[in-house]
Structure 1
């Protein structure tokens, strides 16, 4: 009994001492310096990127070029000259054609390969370890490799065509086939990206769903079209969003193979901006091309993101 009374007194005394201590105001709490130090490198990098971006936008509003000692503000003159140029509209056409052709083909082929990987056939087990090989290669190395393979005289691709009795193909040496050739290179390189993401989506579909559809009389094609495809559609659109952003700004593959030629058949906005800025030494005009390229990327990404949200709501 005595011990219980002593414990009660100690508890009461401790409660009174805690009540006497004033609560620390919320505004005067000590800052979490460790967290601030941990995130400070990311903040510095973000601020540096934003500064470089807005400085590039400012350059697009000037007449900055090699040989001009003083830079003057010219407003929207560079953009007006671009709009009036037929070359600019060709650059925009090439950029959009390249990007949407690459993303569409990669989505279809990636879906087919992912569906193959989701099966238990022997070919799927053989191909699974090799699917990542194109992705681990640097894009410039891929461009140089395919340039050698597509050589009209000594390339292995024309040699393989000759074995089938087909004549030599110009590949990247002709204006009519150069754009299709660089699209082929991009599809070979980045289709595994789609394959991995779609395969992950297919793995999330349980066998119970497929079995219920089979019990109701659904065939294999109907299960794929009515069940699997709608469920993996958000995964396809996520992969398409990332690949669309990268394809609209693609530089390495195009410049490494054709440098925008022959003529201007593969002169995408990013390649033309590099040529204008660092070969023609017109930095203001080159910056304007990059800003336009950024606006095209932003608009395309926003449209695809809205489509993803609509599909996501419908599936869920």
Structure 2
């Protein structure tokens, strides 16, 4: 009777499952239990690492609420006094301004140049073929090596940058030696280092565009520039924004390149929050004040990342 219809088969299967012995059920349960334990064991290292980072973050927040300082035998809980003291100083607001200028200028310039390079890679010109093998070179170099290399190149007296400028009739440029040009120089280094990241992500987006879409635009009379503005750019906008999210987070936390070139100077012109926190904690040995600066930096990163992710979701919904 179980072969007459699907209902009969279901009934037969259900009856068969009900006839399973308690021993078979125990074996099946044991198998699932072993599988669950193996799954837990597989993800346990990741969970431990995440919990460790979370504990360190909470400990850093706690440090920011104390007067912890090297050599001080007794540490007192002082609440938000470190934050209140920071807000009253002009150096703190100067660091916030430097952090936002460095991150915002760098990410915007990298997005523009990365888009241009990605479009170049989509062609078969000689320059594109020459750049493809070496485009990843800046990304694989250690940040401190990049900082030392550019410090030498930007030397006002003997650096190659001023020599190249002299070939086109431009006088000596102060680069990182002058407070008026130091931030521009740092952004230039950041753009040189991380533009390939944007170029690779955007190139992947351009390759994912169906060629039939471009062909339909050409049939309707759209020229190359119009096709890019109205077809390609909206489709690759989510790729640009997701790359901007990662680069914004890293730029707001940037330390190696800045400290390796200017150490926050001249004056306070390039003293971003990460550098000022390092100086406060490891040079002035005021660990509570340094932790407070890093917590403020983390809050800025969180707000910036959250805003960029919301923008990415909005653009992705418009495109899809």
TM-score (norm 2): 0.91
Taking the aligned partners of 1:100 and 1:197, their CA distance within structure 2 comes to 19
Asked if 1:148 corresponds to 2:152, the answer is yes
String of CA shifts for 1:72-102, please: whole Å, max 9, x gaps: 0000000000111110000000000000000
- What's the CA shift for 1:34? 1.9
String of CA shifts for 1:104-128, please: whole Å, max 9, x gaps: 0000000000001011222211111
String of CA shifts for 1:234-282, please: whole Å, max 9, x gaps: 0000000000000000000000000000000000000000000000110
Q: Which residue number corresponds to residue 175 of structure 1?
A: 179
Q: Which residue number corresponds to residue 6 of structure 1?
A: none
Q: Which residue number corresponds to residue 199 of structure 1?
A: 203
Give the secondary-structure state (helix, strand or coil) at the position aligned to 1:71.
coil
Taking the aligned partners of 1:160 and 1:214, their CA distance within structure 2 comes to 43
Question: Which of 123, 126, 129 is the matching residue for 2:127?
Answer: 123
- What's the CA shift for 1:21? 2.8
| Equivalenced residues, count | 304
Q: Which residue number corresponds to residue 91 of structure 1?
A: 95
**How large is the Cα RMSD of the aligned pairs?**
2.0
Q: Which residue number corresponds to residue 44 of structure 2?
A: 40
- What's the CA shift for 1:36? 1.9
Specify whether residues 155 and 80 from structure 1 end up closer, same or farther in structure 2 by C-alpha distance, changes over 3 A only.
same
Specify whether residues 83 and 27 from structure 1 end up closer, same or farther in structure 2 by C-alpha distance, changes over 3 A only.
farther
Matches within 5 A, 1:132-147: 132-147=136-151
Taking the aligned partners of 1:27 and 1:86, their CA distance within structure 2 comes to 66
Taking the aligned partners of 1:135 and 1:19, their CA distance within structure 2 comes to 60
Q: Which residue number corresponds to residue 297 of structure 1?
A: 301
Q: Which residue number corresponds to residue 264 of structure 1?
A: 268
Taking the aligned partners of 1:175 and 1:190, their CA distance within structure 2 comes to 24
- What's the CA shift for 1:15? 5.1
Taking the aligned partners of 2:114 and 2:141, their CA distance within structure 1 comes to 18
Taking the aligned partners of 2:146 and 2:162, their CA distance within structure 1 comes to 18
Taking the aligned partners of 1:124 and 1:220, their CA distance within structure 2 comes to 18
Q: Which residue number corresponds to residue 51 of structure 1?
A: 55
Matches within 5 A, 1:269-280: 269-280=273-284
Give the secondary-structure state (helix, strand or coil) at the position aligned to 1:30.
helix
TM-score (norm 1): 0.92
Taking the aligned partners of 1:231 and 1:19, their CA distance within structure 2 comes to 56
Specify whether residues 25 and 88 from structure 1 end up closer, same or farther in structure 2 by C-alpha distance, changes over 3 A only.
farther
Q: Which residue number corresponds to residue 189 of structure 1?
A: 193
Q: What are the ranges of 5 or more consecutive residues in structure 2 without an aligned counterpart?
A: 1-11
Asked if 1:224 corresponds to 2:225, the answer is no
Compare 16-25 and 160-169 and name the one that shifted more: 16-25
Taking the aligned partners of 1:38 and 1:157, their CA distance within structure 2 comes to 52
Q: Which residue number corresponds to residue 5 of structure 1?
A: none
